[in-house]
């Protein structure tokens, strides 16, 4: 894909992108090496929309409480784990924010 203004090939880059108060890290995009402007292909924009949909508080993910190793468990959505920077094996604090909200916080 070429920049129509500077007539050079766009270069693939990874960048951060903010929309609806959600910051996406490590987003694939294209950058013009002359003007420095960043654009997205339709495919890249679609992937971003999917990631934002997962993270936007207006579009909540539903999970069922299951039983794992005899204890009540919830599987964390991968996109939320990725964006929070949490890792397998990492310790977190779990506490009640109020009667209906449980907070998982990196320690």
Distance, in Å, from the CA atom of 37 to the CA atom of 15, rounded to the nearest integer, reads: 12
Q: How far is the CB of 5 from Zn ion (least distance, A)?
A: 5
Residue numbers 21-60 binding Zn ion by CB under 5 A: 32, 35
Residue 3 sits in the site that holds Zn ion (CB under 5 A) = yes
Residue whose tokens read 């050079």: 8
As a whole number of angstroms, the distance between CA 82 and CA 2 comes to 32
Q: Which of 2, 5, 39, 74 binds Zn ion (CB under 5 A)?
A: 5
Contact residues for Zn ion, defined by CB under 5 A? 3, 5-6, 32, 35
């Amino acid at each position: 894909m070429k920049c129509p203004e500077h007539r050079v090939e766009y270069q693939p880059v990874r960048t951060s992108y903010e929309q609806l108060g959600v910051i996406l890290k490590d987003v694939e995009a294209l950058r013009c090496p002359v003007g420095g402007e960043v654009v997205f292909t339709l495919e890249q924009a679609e992937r971003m929309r999917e990631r934002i949909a997962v993270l936007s508080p207006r579009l909540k993910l539903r999970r069922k409480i299951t039983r794992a190793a005899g204890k009540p468990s919830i599987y964390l959505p991968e996109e939320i784990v990725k964006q929070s920077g949490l890792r397998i094996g990492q310790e977190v604090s779990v506490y009640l924010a109020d009667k209906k909200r449980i907070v998982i916080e990196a320690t």
